[in-house]
Structure 1
Amino acid sequence: MDAAVVLWAMSGALILRFGTARGREAITSEFEPYGAVTLVLAGVWWTILGLSGSRDTTVLGYGTEEFKRILTGSFWLFGLVATVSYVFQLDTARGYVALALPAGVLSLLISRVLIRSLLRSQRKVGKSSSSVLIIGGVFGAEHLARALGSQPMAGYRPVSTYLPGTPPGTTIGGSLKLPNLGHDPSSAAIVSAVREARPDAVALSSGVPLAPSVIRELGWALADMQIRMIMAPALTDIAGPRIHTQPVAGLPLIHVSTPNLGTGQGLLKRCFDVMGACLLVAVLSPVLLAVAAVIKADSSGPIFFRQERVGAGGQSFQMLKFRSMVVDAEDHLAALRAHSDGNGVMFKLKSDPRVTTAGRFLRRYSLDELPQLFNVLNGTMSLVGPRPPLPSEVEQYQSHVHRRLIVRPGLTGLWQVSGRSLLSWDDTVRLDLYYVENWSLAGDIAILLKTVRAVFSRQGAY
């Protein structure tokens, strides 16, 4: 796929740039053989994509690292072209490069998205995944097995366990139904079980009850068998950029940096919010006007609905939405609380009688949320962040949940792209805290792109 895409991009740039008679003269001239240049650059581009690790099985089909490596490799290539052209005084056609780079990068990203859709359908049924033998204590092995099983798109499929040091007959949680291959803590017994099972990878869970010498011998044996070894530390909800490994006396020490909540990062996020919100308001202004007209024609009352929400630092603000309910909706809330379909803290009702006819359509496609762009502009919200909570919800927070108020609430966020109202309260909190602890600009961009898909899929929207 990569080879086809880069060859298409380079050939397309060649045709568009030199499609005229004058352009063909440039191609066939003695000093500008762009036909050969096209083939060479396509080959080099394809090679750099491989060297940058964009096709590595550990990143293929899951997370944003795959896309980062595609962008990095592509810009390295064209930076190299610019440098060589400058050093050797080559008169490289700028239009040719300007066409090939964006066309190739965009096509590569689209092709990888298509590959992900194929992988998603295959990995849901256990295909195109690495089979994993999990070694560890009962609780550690069960936690790791459930974590890997909950994210099939990561490409790891637990198939069995090995529980060293436990009594014979011990297994992990019954619902997982993973066979246990042994209990002997010796390296010879573990290697024998691995040879029999032949997994693609062996994962050691946190707190595995094995001596360092046994783990070292196991690593050697797995290397000889061409089986990957994975170490799963006890760290949870920590993103890759915050993890750094430092070898000390033969030990790989894992350093976890502090969350990106400094002044510089905050300023970067604010600039991104303002520019993004201005662009979206300009592009979506016809939609905003059309929605306002529909609401006015559908039912009597104001176009906008204002509601008190809690923002960064626990400060209250007025959140804007397009009105999707009858005017006196808040007066009927108490009578409906007993029928909530929410997660215990947030009130949600799948068939809310207060929602107007136009409001059902607006909520289905999240159009009622668009006025929050003005909250982004006035600084009370961000484009991406935790869900803005009601004061009544904040009153029910446990102490650790207040960490989600460190940053501005968002128009969209991990909650929005992960199921919305279908999530439990614990999952909602976990996603929000993960975002706060691991914020990055690249992560915000990825969430915004996923939001488009979430809106049209309508999953959890009611």
Structure 2
Amino acid sequence: MNDRQTVTEAPSDLRLDVIPVALRPPADTWERRHRRDVVIADHVTTLVVVISAAVLMTGRPGSAAGAWGGLAVFLAAGTTAVCVLGALMAARAWEPRGLGHGAEEYRRVGRALLGTMLLLALIGFAFQLAVLRPWIFVVVPSIGVLGFPVRYVLRQALHRRRRAGHCLLPVLAAGGVEALGELISRTRREPHNGWRIEGVCIARDSWSGLAAWERGEIDGVPVVGTIDELADRVGGGDYRVVALAPDPYWTPGRIQRLAWQLEGSQAEMVVAPMLLEVTGPRLNVSPVFGLPLLWVSQPVFTGAKRVVKDCVDRVLAVLLLLLAAPLFVVIAVLVLLDGGGPVLYRQRRVGREGRMFTMIKFRSMVPDAHLLRTGMAQNNQGAGPLFKLRRDPRVTRIGAFLRRYSIDELPQLFNVVAGTMSLVGPRPPLPEEVEHYDPAARRRLLVKPGLTGLWQVSGRSDLSWEESVRLDLRYVENWSLALDFVILWKTVWAVIRGQGAY
């Protein structure tokens, strides 16, 4: 057991009291404020789009629309606004637990807007109201086009406050020592999720057989008592979340009794399953024989959802190629002026199910750069089997700029159109890298490699090999269209910052 997870015996004079609630500002203040901001933003966005559309449709006073036509438009506008706001409420898009957490927040908004479109279509079909057509196919999607970025801005403001140590829910965790150490590490690594573990409780068996008491903590978090005392520690009102980490102590009866004891408190109980990297739509809880069982569906690598993903990938890739065509010409000229040589660089990569394909990029290195790599192996700064140098002498002047902002990867859009790559997916590996893959890393090859991915928006080359594999596997196991769009949106900001690109 390493130092981070060492738990030692408590001396008799040690106080196992938690942080007094008077010393901490109430957590629900910022929660109410953030929820209020989101609700106001959604109302304002909906009303701005709907009113603007109504004004454009009715035109100037005295236009051909007429009084009755104008009345019909404004009735349609009111119906659309009510349906959108009602659907957001029904989809729990304003529930505090869903705000600021992963792709689920955007998925709920997407479901609400899609439900609104279907409801308006049914109303239009039932009453033969042709006036609703533009509201279904133009106005409601426009609310999403404006509403998603507004939500993103509010969410990023919340995440910045959380990274600064504010707007975090105080958590009391209880369970096994190793599981608690892993949970503490994850909450610190990803503060944007909004947890701060301020105390831990462990089983009495964990006190025995260990070294003499030094600090009474796990990874810097104080041990405030044993699991038997968990309900008493929560009773002071200091914690908003009680997280149960895996431990043999937790039997169904004990968890049920703890849930009863927590009734009436402000704390929510969260049970952390062993499947830490399986999330989202693959998890479902349903009762069997009166027991709440966690059902884990298999990841989907084929079928209708993948066909939809392929179609979306290719359509967006074609649109991006058309928009970027003038930029391609400028870059090609700059690459030619910076030392000559071919404009494009072709390299064999390993794609889905181990199939080889040729990936194309703008050339960012001197010609025949691969021949110069042999003498640089001892200076490798890449993680795992990757070869990377922060200041690679083979990179040209224009190449350094292209790499910093990932512009050299734009020709991979042609690979997306050809079907060998996806817009979002794991990093496309080299054949020599795949030779060193363990069975876990090989699961990256179950899907097409991507032009961007979780690795791209989480630090790129600054990531360790283990973290890079973990992020790619998280994507492979939990893919969804909503997650793809979130990653694409985050990629824009990751590219602008240029962090981890070299």
Normalising by structure 2, we get a TM-score of 0.84
Of the three residues 93, 102, 113, the one matched with 1:63 is 102
Give 1:322 deviation, angstroms. Answer: 1.1
Question: Residues 307 and 31 of structure 1: is their aligned pair in 2 closer, same or farther, counting only changes over 3 Å?
Answer: closer
Q: CA 1:247/1:36 → structure 2, altered by over 3 Å: closer, same or farther?
A: same
Aligned to 1:46: 85
Q: Which moved more, 1:439-448 or 1:55-64?
A: 439-448
Which residue does the alignment assign to 2:456?
416
Shift in alpha-carbon separation, 1:92–1:399, aligned structure 2, 3 A: closer
**Residue in 1 that maps onto 2:291:** 251
Q: Quick one: distance in 2 between partners of 1:308 and 1:266?
A: 24
Q: Is residue 371 from structure 1 mapped to residue 408 from structure 2 by the alignment?
A: no
1:183 to 223, 226, 230: 226
Q: Are the equivalent residues in 1 in contact too, given 2:58–2:70 (CA < 8 A)?
A: no
Structure 1 residues 323-348: Cα deviation after superposition (integer angstroms, max 9, x where no partner): 11111312221222222221132111
Q: Structure 1 residues 121 and 173 mapped into 2: Cα distance closer, same or farther (>3 Å)? A: farther
Q: Which segment is superposed worse, 351-360 or 40-49?
A: 40-49
- 1:138 matched residue in structure 2: 177
User: Could you tell me whether the CA contact under 8 Å between 1:167 and 1:183 is conserved in 2?
Assistant: no
Q: What is the match of residue 336 of structure 1?
A: 376
The equivalent of 1:350 in structure 2 is: 390
Residue 156 of structure 2 aligns with an amino acid whose one-letter code is S
User: Are 2:316 and 1:276 aligned?
Assistant: yes
Q: Is the contact between residue 203 and residue 229 of structure 1 (CA under 8 Å) also seen in structure 2?
A: yes
Q: 1:74 aligns with which of 95, 113, 128?
A: 113
Q: Distance in 1 between matches of 2:72 and 2:340?
A: 69
Aligned residue in 2 for 1:302 = 342
Does the 8 A contact of 1:133 with 1:203 survive in 2? yes
Could you tell me how far apart the structure 2 residues matched to 1:242 and 1:191 are?
A: 32
Q: Deviations over 1:419-438 (max 9, x none)?
A: 11000000111122222222
Which digits, 9 at most, give the CA deviation of each residue in 1:169-209, with x for residues without a partner?
98999573212221152xxx322111125211111112351
Alignment of 1:152-301 (within 5 A): 152-165=191-204, 166-167=206-207, 176-183=219-226, 185=228, 189-196=229-236, 198-207=238-247, 209-301=249-341
Q: 1:460 maps to what in 2?
A: 500
Q: 1:208 to 1:178 in 2, by over 3 A?
A: farther
Q: Alignment length, in residue pairs? A: 458
Q: Which residue of 1 aligns with 2:161?
A: 122
Q: Is the 8 A contact 2:350 2:428 kept in 1?
A: yes
Separation of aligned partners in 2, 1:76 and 1:48: 7
CA distance in 2, matches of 1:7, 1:263: 39
Quote the Cα distance in structure 1 between the aligned partners of 2:69 and 2:468.
64
Q: Are residues 173 and 145 of structure 1, via their aligned partners in 2, closer, same or farther at CA, if it must alter by over 3 Å?
A: farther
Q: Distance in 1 between matches of 2:214 and 2:444?
A: 37
Mapped contact 1:139–1:172 kept (Cα < 8 A): no
Structure 1 Cα separation of the partners of residues 482 and 70 of structure 2: 41
| Larger displacement relative to structure 2 (171-180 or 141-150) | 171-180
Match of 2:14 in 1: none
Q: How far apart are the structure 2 equivalents of 1:266 and 1:41?
A: 32
Tell me what 1:440 maps to. Answer: 480
The CA RMSD measured in Å over matched residues stands at: 2.6
Counterpart Cα distance in 1 of 2:225 and 2:472: 39
| Structure 1: runs of 5+ lacking an equivalent | none
Q: Distance in 2 between matches of 1:444 and 1:135?
A: 34
Residue type of the partner of 2:219? L
Whole-angstrom distance in 1 between the partners of 2:257 and 2:214: 25
> How far 1:317 moved relative to its partner?
2.8
**Secondary structure of the corresponding residue to residue 207 of structure 1:** coil
Whether the aligned pair in 2 keeps the contact of 1:59 and 1:65 (CA below 8 Å) is yes
Gapped regions of structure 2 (runs ≥ 5)? 1-40
Q: Which range moved further: 356-365 or 429-438?
A: 429-438
Instruction: Give % identity.
Output: 39
C-alpha distance in 2, partners of 1:211/1:236?
19
The change in CA–CA distance for 1:90 and 1:305 in structure 2 (over 3 A counts) is closer
The verdict on how the C-alpha distance between 1:52 and 1:131 changes in structure 2, with shifts beyond 3 A counting, is same
Single out whichever of 376-385 and 226-235 deviates more from structure 2: 376-385
Q: Does the 8 Å contact 1:309/1:318 carry over to 2?
A: yes
